[in-house]
Amino acid sequence: MIQVIAPWLADGLALLGLGVLTLSVFGILRFPNVITRLHASGQAGVMGVVPLLLAVMLTSGGDMLPRTILVVSFLVVTSPIVAHEIGRAAHSVRERTGPNDF
């Protein structure tokens, strides 16, 4: 039964991940300042890659489970750190981060 549903579920997860990543790209291009762009890139980046990894795991027959868990945990741990450092760098060079700056 799961062999019948797994390809459809993997396709749905892949489409979901690609849709979230596409919206993330539009957010990076359209948002006006560093803080909102960080939100689009950091949050949606993780939430777009995780469904893609789950789709790969489903199509591989479960052989990729340890690697998927490792990559997802790495993304969840490092994404906030990277976003924080980018925001801190933007603040230190006095990049405009909001509507009331300057």
pLDDT confidence of residue 10: 93
Task: Give the domain extent around 54.
Answer: 2-92
How many structural domains comprise the chain? 1
Radius of gyration of the chain (CA): 17
Is 100 domain-assigned?
no
Query: Helix and strand tally (H, E) in the chain?
Result: 3, 0
Is 98 domain-assigned?
no
Residue 16, token pair as written in the block: 């979901």
- Tens place of pLDDT for every residue, the chain, 102 residues? 777 888 899 999 999 999 999 999 998 899 888 888 888 888 888 899 999 999 999 888 778 888 989 999 999 999 888 888 888 888 888 766 666 554
Is 101 domain-assigned?
no
